[in-house]
Structure 1
Amino acid sequence: MAQKKAHEVDGWLRRPDPETRIILIYGPDRGLVAERTQTYVKQAGLDAEDPFSSVRLEASELDAAPGRLIDEAGTVPMFSSQRLIWIKGAGTHKNLADDVKELATNPLRDSIVLIEAGDLKKSAPLRNVVEGAFSAMALPCYADESRSIDGVIDEILARERMTMAVEARQALKANLGGDRLATRSELEKLALYCHGQPQITLDDVTVTIGDVSGLSVDAAVDAVLAGNSEAFDTTFSRIVSSGSHPFVVLSAAMRQFNQLLALRGDMDANGKSATAAVASARPPVFFTRRKLIETAVQRSTSVTLLRALERLQAAVLLTRQRPDLAVATARQALIALLVEAARARR
């Protein structure tokens, strides 16, 4: 059958079979799906940015126009030997599965169909079609295991020319996994915090990822989302006066805004309401915070959330460059986000 087990996927992606013309990358780990899709494009030597040799389409629009995928696959590339048809957001789309089935029975010559999908059951039509086809390949993406996490850690350490103490790695791995996008986000924060250091220590991991201030940190971030300046000032002051580095609040805020960005993306891509997106979030949102998160994601856009994350990242870097201004820097960045949240609620 045209499929790989989860532990075989990375090996296949390092040397993809040139005879494979339809590739389905699916699974509950959305971040890993996106990462492996990019890996395939690179390893296959395809140019996803060239409008003459590639096209990106949403599964919903193809499902609403039966036969369009077949027409796209039959288009001869103008200035390259292969044409990439990159489909995003695939799921239980019957017409799309039917078109893929027809393409699978008549092997493509000049086109490659690359499909990104969420978690597909074994009985899903699209998965059945790809797994049963000779010129196709289904690649599952599940939550990171210990070995996978080590690989991502080593990749970022090599890029930053850093090493990591053994106890720091153990503590780090205990707080990672479940979603590749979230894992990379945490590691990028750690690399940013430790920029310029030769080695990452346990203290670095504890400050950036460890739950140092517990519920008080969550309360500070919730106050930012709610636009509640009084609650934020009280909670933030308590955290700093207890001896905790202000980075712990910035770190918690970055995690929260990354989650909001993922939820907003789910709403935009799948037409979900804020309530439905939050209800299906993984890991789940604690029930006492659901209304707050629903309101925050409803009143945000992907653009505003990305801008918020850029502001937080800039603040993190400045706290490293000017430790004497760390408290003021963190407070200013968080208050700016709080003010924007308060304005959005008016």
Structure 2
Amino acid sequence: MAEIKAHEFDVFIKRRLGDHRLFLIYGPDRGLVSERADAVAAATKVDTKDAFSFMRLDASALSGDPGRLYDEARSTGLFGGEKLIWIKGAGADKGLADAVTNLGGDKDLSAWIIIEAGDLKKGANLRKAAESASSAVAIPCYADDARALNGLIDEELASFSLKISSDARALLADSLGGDRLASRGEIRKLALYAWGRQTIEADDVVAVIGDASAISTDDAVDAVLKGDRDGFLHATQKVIASKTPVFLIMQGVMRQLQLLDLMRSDMEERRSSAADAIAAHGRHLHFRRKPIIEAALRAWTGELIARELNRLHFAILQCRRRNSLEDTIALQTLLATTLIAGRGKQSRN
């Protein structure tokens, strides 16, 4: 199975890239997917400004014409040299998976092929094809763990010749992680704020850093849980303005509803209070969000949680099948959940 773990990527890009010709880069962290696709493209040394050597395609364009990828991959550039084909927006398309199986097994393939995809579950046809083909490799991109976050912090601050105190590091790391590009941008913003000093302190982090772990998506998630339509629309506008995928809000709501489901089950089985359930299962929650979760536990019934989880599961499936409509599907689904939560809250008051 050819799969590159998060901690293996830097070594892979320097030493083992040439062993493969086709790269499937996928995962829920869209920023990291984009960043690693850029790194692979740069490592191929193909000039992306040369229209005869470089081609960017959308996966939806290939679904109706899968033969085009075969033609492009097995043809040479007008002036010779290697080609780079970069495909974005891939999902569960069987035609593309078949092409990966075919092209990824061709050891004489002259073209480099990069495929960017969203979150692919284990066993998804495209992921399975990349993991099985001899000349292909799958590169998953999940939210940064503590080790990766600290490495990112050190990397960015070193470029500004800055150090960071232990308290500031802990506070900063707690505010990052949902999207690699957003996290990198927040660290750079902090570095510019501290320009001219040697060490970043905790007060600097509080003054500058928002919640980049969801790039303000927490505001939208909280608005959904509270049934606050106006708050949801306002928070979503900020997310869209920051060019952050709306899909991240839906993922955040899904995680919170799964947590609520676990807590409510605990409350019903043990007849415990909302505060006790949060103490048992919500230790990782930021202190400012605990009152919101506690209020949601009192407002959301188990039946409502289950129904909305099913709605979100279906919407995520539709987003994968219809990638070009992802934002529209996510917004409509989240707004519906917000309105239902709001009506439920009013009926219980």
Q: Normalising by structure 2, report the TM-score.
A: 0.64
Q: CA deviation at 1:185?
A: 2.8
Describe the superposition over 1:244-298 as per-residue Cα deviations: whole angstroms up to 9, x where unpaired: xxxxxxxx9997455554239989x8232655223778xx99947999xxxxxxx
**2:324 maps to amino acid:** G
User: Bigger shift: 96-105 or 56-65?
Assistant: 96-105
Work out whether 1:263 is the aligned partner of 2:246. Answer: yes
Which residue does 1:152 correspond to in 2?
A: 152
Q: Which residue of 2 aligns with 1:29?
A: 29
Partner residue, 1:337: none
> 1:38-59, CA deviations, whole angstroms, 9 ceiling, x for partnerless residues?
1112223232222121100011
How many residues of Structure 1 are paired with residues of Structure 2 in the alignment?
Answer: 257
Conserved 8 A contact 1:77-1:110 = no
**In the alignment, which residue of structure 2 is the partner of 1:334?**
none
Q: Are residues 156 and 253 of structure 1, via their aligned partners in 2, closer, same or farther at CA, if it must alter by over 3 Å?
A: farther
Q: Say whether the 8 Å CA contact 1:13–1:43 is kept in structure 2.
A: yes
Deviation at 1:72, TM superposition (A): 0.5
The residue that corresponds to 1:131 in the other structure is: 131
- In the alignment, the residues of structure 2 paired with residue 45 and residue 262 of structure 1 have an alpha-carbon distance, to the nearest angstrom, of 29
> Aligned partners of 1:197 and 1:286: how far apart in 2?
47
CA separation of 1:64/1:170 partners in 2, compared to 1, >3 Å: closer, same or farther? same
Contact 2:66/2:95 (8 A) holds in 1: yes
**Aligned residue identity for 1:149:** L
What 5-or-longer segments of structure 2 have no aligned partner? 212-217, 224-229, 249-318, 343-349
Structure 1 residue 26 displacement after superposition: 0.9
Percentage identity across paired residues of the two chains? 44
Q: What is the rounded CA distance, in whole Å, between the counterparts of 1:286 and 1:202 in structure 2?
A: 37
CA 1:120–1:256 in 2, change beyond 3 Å: closer, same or farther? closer
CA contact (8 A) 2:27 2:140 kept: yes
1:50-96 deviation digits (Å, cap 9, x = unpaired): 21211000111111102110001012023453100001111101111
| 1:9-37 Cα shifts (integer Å, max 9, x gaps) | 33212323313111111111111111111
SS at 1:16's partner residue? helix
1:46 counterpart = 2:29: no
Q: Which residue of 1 aligns with 2:62?
A: 62
What does 1:34-113 correspond to in 2, within 5 Å? 34-79=34-79, 81-113=81-113
Indicate conservation of the 8 Å contact 2:103/2:109, yes or no. no
Alpha-carbon distance in 1 for matches of 2:34, 2:103: 23
| Alpha-carbon displacement from aligned partner over 1:110-140 (angstroms, at most 9, x marks no partner) | 2011111111122111111111111111111
Alpha-carbon distance in 2 for matches of 1:174, 1:24: 30
Which residue of structure 2 lines up, in the alignment, with residue 115 of structure 1?
115
Matched, 1:276 2:259: no
**Secondary structure of the structure 1 residue equivalent to 2:72:** helix
Equivalent position amino acid for 1:262 in 2: P
Taking the aligned partners of 1:179 and 1:4, their CA distance within structure 2 comes to 19
Q: Which amino acid aligns with 1:8?
A: E
Q: Which residue of 1 aligns with 2:209?
A: 209
Q: Any unmatched runs of 5+ in structure 1? A: 227-251, 292-346
> For 1:201-251, what per-residue CA distance to the aligned partner results, in whole angstroms no more than 9, with x for missing partners?
21110111268xx99xx99xx78x76xxxxxxxxxxxxxxxxxxxxxxxxx
Distance change >3 Å, CA 260–CA 103, structure 1 → 2:
closer
Note if contact 1:172-1:205 (Cα within 8 Å) is conserved in structure 2. Answer: yes
The answer to whether the 8 Å contact 2:3/2:131 transfers is: yes
Output the CA distance in 2 between the equivalents of 1:143 and 1:66. Answer: 32
CA distance in 1 between counterparts of 2:138 and 2:204 reads: 39
* Residue equivalent to 1:197: 197
| Deviation readout 1:171-203 (Å, 9 max, x if unpaired) | 101111122133123223222322333322211
CA RMSD of aligned residues (A): 3.6
CA pair 57-275 structure 1, distance change in 2 beyond 3 A:
closer
